[in-house]
Amino acid sequence: METMVVSNKQVIFRDYVTGFLSESDLLINSTTVNLKVPAGSMTALVKNLYLSCDPYMRNRMRKPDPSSPATALSFIPGKPISGFGVSKVMDSGHPDYKEGDLLWGAVGWEEYSVITPIPNLHFKIHHTDVPLSHYTGLLGNVTHFNVLVHHCLPYTFLCSLAGMPGMTAYAGFYEICSPKKGETVFVSAASGAVGQLVGQFAKLMGCYVVGSAGSKEKVDLLKNKFGFDEAFNYKEETDLNAALKRCFPVGIDIYFENVGGKMLDAVILNMRPHGRIAACGMISQYNLQIPEAVYNLWLITYKRIRIQGFNTIDYLHKYSEFLEFVLPYIRQGKITYVEDVADGLESAPAALVGLFHGKNVGKQLVVVSRDP
């Protein structure tokens, strides 16, 4: 068998994490990889181009606990971490993939990965008239949940598919929130990968939209680039309840929840009767050993508020519908997607850690190579 061995830089998981993730929990290592797959193999050797940084990855850094399904797919200390990314096939023994194919799917955080393609977990990229990096967020998807179940993938891995911001925003807003023209919409973590899209979808519906973010730069982005009607920096607000009353004098019809904790508590106070809350994530709680309490839940009965958690896996069958909806808007420039790009695997640990400190502006991704 012909061999062509090259160096392969990797991001290594040092050990299980308690408390806040730090850059020292991830190491940069270099090994080697053969760019030719063994004859008769069903594997493919891919060159990674873009890697997606997603909050769910923090949950895979907990020590496995038999009583907690959330730790069933923890990363292995001493091994590369993994996630979703855009890659190019360099060599393949798989009949459905050939050299030069562009893929989106599960890969290691490394320059090159050897993958065993699973239908609808790794899929070919056909729409190349939009930036390839968009497949780490706006256009990323895994298309058939039943196929993933057939391959006996752990539930927590299936839940990790929430790292598909475009589908997450689409399903959460349109399917969970059931928006109507003229309604009031609040989005927390609004400048992030999901929030920026929810706000734009809401504006397309003719809603009044307000977002919260953690810096002046992000607030300006929400109002001037994404078209939010109003926005505020939650770090500068001493009273979140008062801030929401200022922005929503008549109350909130729809809340797209990305934060949890004190923000959720304040939002419940300001929800209108029959309001809807789509619980997408609660990033403020992920690094806490003891989650914060929410004190105003009693109001959901009085106000007849519907709070619904969701996962994108429940709506994967709508991916083609989502593409038909979103691609024309992207091509026409009516939907804007901002990406926070970290260059090189060396910058990957800081990029991932930065998610939990609000350092990213837009969808956080890592560019491994700009030369496909």
pLDDT tens digit sequence for 62-72: 888 777 655 55
Please give the residue that has the higher pLDDT: either 122 or 328.
Answer: 328
Asked if domains 5-162+337-367 and 165-310 share a fold, the reply is no
Give the domain 5-162+337-367 fold.
Quinone Oxidoreductase; Chain A, domain 1 (3.90.180)
CA distance readout (Å), 154 to 61, 71, 160, 254: 15, 10, 10, 32
Average pLDDT, the chain: 86
- Cβ contact 336:361 at 8 Å: no
- pLDDT value at 120 more than 90: no
DSSP string for residues in 180-206: -TT-EEEESSTTSTTHHHHHHHHHHTT
pLDDT for the residue 144: 35
Find the mean pLDDT for residues 261-279.
96
Of 261, 257, 254, 210, nearest in space to 232 by CA: 210
**What local confidence, expressed as pLDDT, does residue 156 receive?**
38
What is d(CA 86, CA 127) in angstroms, rounded to the nearest whole number? 13
Q: In this predicted model, what pLDDT tens digit does every residue of 309-359 receive, in sequence order? A: 988 778 878 888 888 898 889 888 888 888 889 999 999 999 999 988 888
pLDDT of residue 372: 62
Question: At residue 15, does pLDDT exceed 70?
Answer: yes
Whether residue 277 contacts residue 179, with contact meaning beta carbons closer than 8 Å, is answered with no
Banded model confidence at residue 162, pLDDT cuts 50, 70, 90: very low
In angstroms, how far is the first alpha carbon of the chain from the final one? 25
At 93, the pLDDT band (50, 70, 90 cuts) reads confident
Helix (H, G, I), strand (E, B), or coil: what is residue 80? strand
- Dihedral Cα 55, 212, 365, 86, nearest 10 deg: 80
CATH topology of domain 165-310: Rossmann fold (3.40.50)
Domain segments of the chain as ranges: 5-162+337-367, 165-310
Helices (H) and strands (E) in the chain, counts: 10, 15
Q: Which residue has the tokens 């505020």?
A: 232
The proportion of the chain whose per-residue pLDDT surpasses 90, expressed as a percent, equals 51
What is the distance between the alpha carbons of residues 28 and 219, in angstroms, rounded to a whole number?
A: 34
Task: Give the H or E element holding residue 297.
Answer: none
pLDDT band per the 50, 70, 90 thresholds, residue 126: confident
Whether 161 and 313 have beta carbons less than 8 Å apart is answered as yes
Strand partners, 211: 187, 231
The pLDDT of residue 189:
92
**What's the pLDDT tens digit per position in 222-256?**
999 999 999 999 999 999 999 999 999 999 999 99
358 compared with 61, residue with greater pLDDT: 61
Q: What are phi and psi of 320, to 5 degrees?
A: -65, -40
- For 146-160, 162-176, 178-192, 322-336, which range has the lowest pLDDT when averaged over its residues? 146-160
Q: How far apart are CA 138 and CA 158, in angstroms?
A: 19
- What pLDDT was estimated at residue 71? 52
pTM of the model: 0.74
**Higher pLDDT residue, 65 or 177?**
177
Average pLDDT over residues 117-121: 68
